Chains A and B, each alone.
Chain A
Amino acid sequence: MVKKKDVTKDDISNTTVLIVLSVVVILSVFSVGYYLSVMQKTQLMKENSLDDGTGEVSLHLSKAPVRQELQETGGQVALNIAGPETINSLEEEESIQ
């Protein structure tokens, strides 16, 4: 046989505990939901406060052309043209002989 516990003035009834517990659970659920929705909105605002775009700068670096320095060394052409005086002197030599 179960012995019935004496109820004193300090004891809280099970019904009261159950009601308070239910309130706490409901508040907790709402609180977490509310917090998450605020975080989501804040994140969305942060994302909306930034934007960017890109551009491009390009060049094609090529090799500088090699400078062509040609040094032409010309050959020597010797030309000896006998002038009229030379011819005369030859004729004179022949006549003497």
Chain B
Amino acid sequence: MREVSNKTIVAFLMLALVLVVTTTFFGVNQLDNGLTGAAIGTGVGTGTTNLTVEGIVGISVTDDVIEFGSVYVNGSASYGVLDSNASHTGADMINTSTGTAVNIDDWHVIENNGTVAVNVTMSTDQTDARSYLCGTGNCPTTAGSDALVQVFATETGAEANTCSSGLQDSYATTLTQQTAENVTLCPRMEYGDSNDELRVYYRMQVPVDAAEGIKTLTTTYTAEAI
């Protein structure tokens, strides 16, 4: 068997060393990018120690159901408007049981139960308002041109200043006739016990030729640490 010269062995060893150093370098870089919490001592004997405690992100939906009930669109209108906020006006939606205009006051409650401020966005399980509201019938007359789902958020008096910037306090569209959009409800939702709650309301435009049936919209609220 042919002997390997010492120079070749040294070359391989050098290559291996370079690989080890490079791998370690990338590992340390990764650590610097994403990890805090290490105690840093300064001085000798009487040094101070800085410790950054990493927060926990947590969000919960403490009231997760909005129920419009059994309703139908007034036959003389091209679409009806359902609004879960009683102070806003719906239109041309009739409660099947009472025969009167739909008037409910119902909302979702989302709570920041973590220990850091978060950016809160919402999305739904639907691809567009037309397929959600028109259903299998596909709104043969109107083509679902008025189908729409919108959302907005409010603070309550008891939980004022929950959103310290950019609260989405007017209706934003999450489902258009043909598309779905994520909506940022609050770019900075605080986490203190007295200011960590938001209410979320929904508004829908239901075409008059929408197919009958139960229409359930599942919404997802996502919190991301900022």
Residue numbers of A with Cβ under 8 A of B are: 11-12, 17, 20-21, 24, 27-28, 31-32, 34-35, 38-39, 41-42, 45-46, 48-65, 67
Q: Which of B110-133 contact A (CB under 8 A)?
A: 110, 114, 118, 133
- Decide yes or no: A55 and B221 within 8 Å by CB, A35-B26, A61-B215, A62-B96 being known contacts: yes
Q: How many angstroms between the C-alpha atoms of A63 and B35 in the bound complex?
A: 58
* Distance (whole angstroms) from the CB of B158 to the closest CB of chain A: 20
Can you add 15 more A-B contacts, CB < 8 Å, to A17-B9, A34-B27, A59-B67? A38-B27, A42-B31, A42-B35, A48-B54, A50-B224, A52-B221, A53-B220, A57-B84, A59-B82, A60-B68, A60-B215, A61-B71, A61-B72, A61-B73, A61-B212
Q: Which residue of A lies closest to B211 (CB)?
A: A61
Q: Which of B31-65 contact A (CB under 8 A)?
A: 31, 33-35, 54, 56-61, 64-65
Contacts of B74 in A (CB 8 A): 64
Partner-binding segment picked from B10-18, B162-170, B176-184: B10-18
* Distance (whole angstroms) from the CB of A11 to the closest CB of chain B: 6
Let me know if A38 and B30 touch, CB within 8 A: yes
* Distance (whole angstroms) from the CB of B188 to the closest CB of chain A: 15
Contacts of B26 in A (CB 8 A): 35
Closest 5 CB pairs of A and B: A59-B68, A53-B61, A35-B27, A55-B108, A55-B64
* Distance (whole angstroms) from the CB of B43 to the closest CB of chain A: 28
Let me know if B215 and A52 touch, CB within 8 A: no
Let me know if B218 and A54 touch, CB within 8 A: yes
- Decide yes or no: A64 and B9 within 8 Å by CB, A31-B23, A55-B219 being known contacts: no
Let me know if B57 and A57 touch, CB within 8 A: no
Contacts of B225 in A (CB 8 A): 49-50
Q: How many angstroms between the C-alpha atoms of A94 and B3 in the bound complex?
A: 164
Question: Which residue from B118, B221, B224 sits with its C-beta under 8 Å from A54?
Answer: B221
Give the number of chain B interface residues (Cβ < 8 Å): 66
Let me know if B66 and A56 touch, CB within 8 A: yes
Does B20 sit at the interface, judged by CB under 8 A?
yes
Residue numbers of B with Cβ under 8 A of A are: 6, 9-10, 13, 16-17, 19-20, 23-24, 26-28, 30-31, 33-35, 54, 56-61, 64-75, 82, 84, 94, 96, 108, 110, 114, 118, 133, 200, 202, 204, 206, 210-225
* Distance (whole angstroms) from the CB of B140 to the closest CB of chain A: 15
Let me know if B56 and A48 touch, CB within 8 A: yes
Contacts of A31 in B (CB 8 A): 20, 23-24, 27
Contacts of A49 in B (CB 8 A): 57, 224-225
Q: Which residue of A lies closest to B29 (CB)?
A: A38
Let me know if B23 and A32 touch, CB within 8 A: yes
Question: Which residue from B35, B65, B223 sits with its C-beta under 8 Å from A52?
Answer: B223
Let me know if A57 and B59 touch, CB within 8 A: no
Question: Which residue from A27, A46, A50 sits with its C-beta under 8 Å from B20?
Answer: A27
Let me know if B75 and A57 touch, CB within 8 A: no
- Decide yes or no: A62 and B65 within 8 Å by CB, A28-B16, A31-B20, A38-B27 being known contacts: no
